[in-house]
Chains A and B, each alone.
Chain A
């Protein structure tokens, strides 16, 4: 079997994100959610030298920089909250798929904020996501 480059990297990303869900639970079994988040961010920082574009980032507008910076703040907040959910008794096999339905919120807000259109399929997806939250919480 020959795997194309894009498929190989897609599978690698899938496995990485899947293992992350397990590591979140394993880490919060041993340290606090706050300590787990701090070390998670340190782990993220290890990759920064590979991501740095090698030129000033000030060539971009402050508005865009502000949006992406704020995105990072919210990513950290979301990461802390999922670690806290696991620390306070949430099962990895429930919390991970539960929180993975966050695109439901995006689909509800995007038409208002970004003037994007919701397709019928996405509408069904929102309904499934909300039903999933209800069932996973049961």
Chain B
């Protein structure tokens, strides 16, 4: 309980909560919009929708700071791989993949991150966090059924 109360005082926890609500809203609005608009134009439009925040950040000067070339390359790769991942998902659906199986398999991506982060970033998890990771995976699989 003490650990939990310490965690909720940390900024990363609340940013994570904001991510959950931001992406939940993204999923709901995309679902509403894609009832009429096919997948590729939807992806095109939603990328256009991402641009205003980038413009605001550039104009406000908040995107400055350390201009590490390595950091920029990682961020660019992040954007390209996110887009490629979404495209692969669409191609998988169109190539005859069962929607539930494709959704279940791709939503297990935290396991790939976990498998990479532990050896590459030398991150360590507590027993409770490992249990949380397992429950998150169970939760994601159940949503896709």
Contact = CB atoms under 8 A, between A and B. Distances in A.
Contact of A60 (B36, B79, B142): B36
A74 B139 contact: no
Interface of B: 3-4, 7-8, 10-13, 15-16, 18-38, 40-54, 57-58, 62-68, 70-72, 74-89, 91-93, 95-97, 101-102, 105-118, 120-121, 123, 125-126, 128-129, 131-133, 135-143, 145
A43 B57 contact: no
A71 B46 contact: yes
Contacts of A37: 53-54, 57, 63, 75
A138 B132 CA distance: 9
Contacts of A16: 81-82, 84-85, 88
Interface residues of A, number: 112
Contact of A81 (B19, B45, B113, B140): B19
Q: Which of A51, A97, A114 has the most CB of B within 10 A?
A: A97
Interface of A: 4-7, 9-32, 34-48, 50-53, 57, 60-61, 64-82, 84-86, 88-107, 109-110, 113-114, 119, 121-122, 124-126, 128-129, 131-138
Given A35-B65, A73-B49, A137-B4, A14 B112 contact: yes
Given A9-B89, A40-B82, A75 B26 contact: yes
B46 A68 contact: yes
